[in-house]
Amino acid sequence: MDEHTEITMKELNSNEEILNGFAVMKQLRTHLNETKYLELVREAREKDMYRMVALYEHNQIAAVVGFKPMITLYYGRFVWVCDLVTDESKRSNGFGEILLTYVHDWARENDYESVALSSGLQREDAHRFYEEKMDYNRVSYVFKKPLKE
């Protein structure tokens, strides 16, 4: 990213704004179509305090983060990063770091103790980024059991 790069961030609230983030989010959540994506984001916002923030480069969405505050006995008060993706053509420009730093700042300002996330086992580049660049600790495995065939 050079000094002439125009970077802005904006929380995506309206259906139109949320849908504008779909092209980038689809690169991470490949199983979703636009309709299901919008439905899930709206429901998560309504019921789960989910927030979605986009990073714009020259007025185009370059990266998106989705996160929500949570409370568990294991982590206490924390923020869970549900989704973090940078457009394939814009990776390695520091956009993921900017968005995660935004989440860290939001968590601190709202009295949360930590930020946590999970990452697919195959995403070794992402793991290096979280551990080496962003100073996250690998603390557990996430297990999932599908309930529908």
147 in any annotated domain: no
pTM over 0.85: yes
Domain count for the chain, please give it: 1
75 in any annotated domain: yes
- Tens-digit pLDDT profile for residues 120-138: 888 888 899 999 999 999 9
144 in any annotated domain: no
User: Which residue numbers in the chain have pLDDT < 70?
Assistant: 1-4
103 in any annotated domain: yes
140 in any annotated domain: no
21 in any annotated domain: yes
The CATH number of whichever domain residue 93 belongs to comes to 3.40.630.30
pLDDT of residue 112: 97
Domain holding 117, by residue range, is 7-133
State the DSSP string of 1-29: --TT--EEEEE--SHHHHHHTHHHHTTT-
pLDDT of residue 5: 72
Write down the H helix ranges in the chain. 15-20, 22-25, 34-48, 95-109, 124-128
The pair of structure tokens assigned to 60 is 């185009």
138 in any annotated domain: no
8 Å CB contact between 72 and 91: no
pLDDT of residue 114: 96
146 in any annotated domain: no
